[in-house]
């Protein structure tokens, strides 16, 4: 029965709440459904069917099955399964837990262990699909194929290699942050945007900022700097985090836990300077820099976020990542011009690589956070996958959305100025890691939790009202 909720073409069936479907089932019935779901997720070739089945299994073991077991069945968790779980070997952990459940029967302990394993397996599957989807974006394929420094196709632009008084020039990229008037209940995050593209709709505004009473006028608050240095290393600095690292090995580029500079590392990887395909190759960073920059030279990258507190909800980290990627792409000849505005195709490539960078760095996220790459006020919408799209047959929607930047006839200068004059940003003093929130939103969507599903439909109606206004 529950498998049919996943495979149904009729929205009335497909969008039925899992909790509602489980109410009438006893413990034996739920276990039978779990067996069918587990068999289905192992054999289905549809990514979204697999992931939804895994979330069904997680929710049943976390919420629905334990309440129908005898209170005395607390059970225990086998140590080898727990070791596999800690080692992120989720499939192996599930096998161990299921064998114990078959042998000893269900218990609170085994249900808890299975729920945790299925939950982490679902998000691992999603992360793998993000990488696969980003690889298909035109202009990205080569980064995943390159495994040796001698094959690196990029070179630093000659303008950045010309010294003036023994100093190399500095390339600076400045970017606004984004403010969304509505995100339709986080509709742009990876899984939602591709599984429910008609509901992935955001009104997004690029904004410059100023400190009230201090600054004469607003300016882009996010800055990225790039220059060549006389040493075959990568020197990374975050001014606002007061952190610097000098990297001498390729392995350290991919070690995000070693320091506080994971965002800069993600940009270097996603921009193609250190392509993801070279991870684990055992090759030398100096050899790669020799190919990219020249003998005995390296790269210095500096990031700066000006006067924005952590946890501002302005997607500062994503727009900083996009700015860093843009600077790296400009420096390596991946854009038409070294300075000036990016073309539409270049912006879309920056967006795809920012999505990749976020998932490489472990933060997840969606496509609207890179809205600062586009100017002004825009409507960003998911799109159904067409016959020529690489997502065809994998998901209902495409990885990449479409951007409609409102022109000055649609939104006149008077309306823009009125909006600007009416806005004051105040930091409430709280910051929260958005990762668990996005995981919760994804989970609620896949389970079609009734209250959250109704709220999602209401949010879409609100967006239409804002566009009309």
Contacts of 312 (CB under 8 A, 6+ apart): 177, 425, 427
The domain spans of the chain are: 2-130, 136-468
Mean pLDDT of all residues belonging to the chain: 91
| Rounded CA separation 375/309 (Å) | 23
Task: Kindly calculate the radius of gyration of the chain based on its CA atoms and give it in whole angstroms.
Answer: 24
Query: What residue spans of 299-343 are helical by DSSP H?
Result: 316-331
Asked whether residue 238 carries a pLDDT value surpassing 70, the answer given is yes
Contacts of 36 (CB under 8 A, 6+ apart): 2, 3
String of b and e for 322-336 (b: at least 16 CB within 10 Å)?
bbbbbbbbbbbebbe
Q: What is the dihedral of CA 12, 14, 18, 19, to 10 degrees?
A: -10
What confidence category does residue 403 fall into, taking pLDDT thresholds of 50, 70 and 90?
Answer: very high
The model's pLDDT over 409-432, given as tens digits with 9 standing for 90+, comes to 999 999 999 988 888 887 776 666
The model's pLDDT over 267-299, given as tens digits with 9 standing for 90+, comes to 999 999 999 999 988 889 999 999 999 999 999
What confidence category does residue 396 fall into, taking pLDDT thresholds of 50, 70 and 90?
Answer: confident
Q: What count of other Cβ atoms lies within 10 Å of the Cβ of residue 296?
A: 12
Asked whether residue 345 carries a pLDDT value surpassing 80, the answer given is yes
Fold of domain 136-468: Ribosomal Protein S5; domain 2 (3.30.230)
What confidence category does residue 131 fall into, taking pLDDT thresholds of 50, 70 and 90?
Answer: confident
State the pairing for strand pair 234-238/298-305.
Answer: parallel
User: What is the SS3 assignment for 225?
Assistant: strand
Residue 147 sits at φ, ψ, to 5 deg, of -125, 5
The pair of structure tokens assigned to 84 is 């596999």
Query: What residue spans of 87-184 are helical by DSSP H?
Result: 90-104, 108-135, 141-145
| Rounded CA separation 216/48 (Å) | 50
Identity of the highest mean pLDDT range in 54-68, 303-317, 440-454: 54-68
| Rounded CA separation 51/40 (Å) | 11
Asked whether residue 363 carries a pLDDT value surpassing 70, the answer given is no
Asked whether residue 303 carries a pLDDT value surpassing 70, the answer given is yes
Distance of CA 142 to the CA centre of its chain: 21
């Amino acid at each position: 029965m529950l498998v049919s909720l996943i495979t149904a073409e009729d929205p009335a069936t497909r969008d039925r709440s899992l909790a509602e479907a489980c109410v009438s089932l006893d413990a034996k019935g739920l276990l039978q459904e779990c067996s069918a779901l587990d068999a289905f997720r192992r054999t289905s070739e549809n990514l979204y069917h697999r992931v939804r089945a895994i979330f069904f299994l997680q929710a049943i073991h976390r919420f629905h099955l334990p309440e129908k077991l005898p209170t005395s069945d607390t059970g225990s968790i086998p140590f080898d399964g727990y070791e596999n779980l800690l080692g992120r070997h989720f499939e192996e952990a599930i096998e161990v837990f299921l064998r114990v459940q078959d042998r000893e029967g269900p218990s609170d302990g085994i249900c808890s262990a299975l729920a945790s394993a299925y939950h982490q397996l679902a998000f691992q599957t999603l992360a793998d699909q993000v990488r696969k989807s980003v690889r298909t974006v035109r202009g990205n394929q080569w980064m995943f194929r390159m495994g040796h420094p001698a094959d690196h196709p990029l070179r630093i632009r000659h303008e950045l290699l010309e010294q003036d008084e023994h100093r190399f020039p500095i390339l600076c990229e400045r970017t606004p942050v984004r403010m969304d008037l509505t995100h339709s209940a986080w509709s742009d995050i990876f899984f939602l945007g591709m599984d429910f593209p008609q509901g992935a709709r955001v009104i997004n505004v690029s904004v410059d900022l100023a400190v009230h009473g201090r600054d004469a006028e607003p300016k882009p608050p996010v800055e990225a700097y790039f220059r060549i240095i006389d040493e075959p290393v990568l020197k990374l600095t975050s001014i606002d985090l007061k952190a610097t690292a000098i990297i001498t090995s390729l392995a350290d580029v991919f070690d995000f836990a070693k320091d506080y500079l994971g965002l800069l590392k993600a940009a270097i990887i996603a921009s193609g300077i250190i392509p993801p395909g070279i991870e684990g190759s055992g090759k030398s960073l100096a050899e790669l820099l020799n190919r990219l920059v020249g003998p005995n030279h390296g790269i210095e990258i500096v990031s700066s976020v000006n006067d924005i507190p952590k946890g501002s909800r302005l997607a500062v980290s994503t727009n900083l990542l996009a700015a860093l990627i843009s600077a790296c792409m400009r420096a390596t000849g991946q854009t038409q011009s070294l300075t000036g505005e990016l073309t539409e195709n270049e912006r879309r490539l920056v967006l795809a690589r920012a999505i990749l960078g976020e998932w490489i760095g472990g933060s997840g996220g969606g496509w609207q956070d890179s809205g600062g790459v586009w100017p002004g006020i825009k409507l960003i919408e998911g799109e159904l996958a067409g016959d020529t799209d690489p997502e065809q047959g994998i998901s209902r929607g495409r990885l990449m959305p479409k951007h409609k930047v409102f022109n000055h006839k649609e939104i006149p200068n008077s309306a823009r100025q009125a909006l600007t004059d009416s806005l004051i940003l105040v930091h409430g003093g709280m910051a929260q890691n958005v990762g668990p929130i996005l995981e919760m939103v994804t989970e609620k969507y896949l389970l079609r939790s009734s209250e959250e599903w109704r709220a999602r439909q209401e949010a879409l109606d609100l967006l239409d009202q804002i566009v009309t206004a």
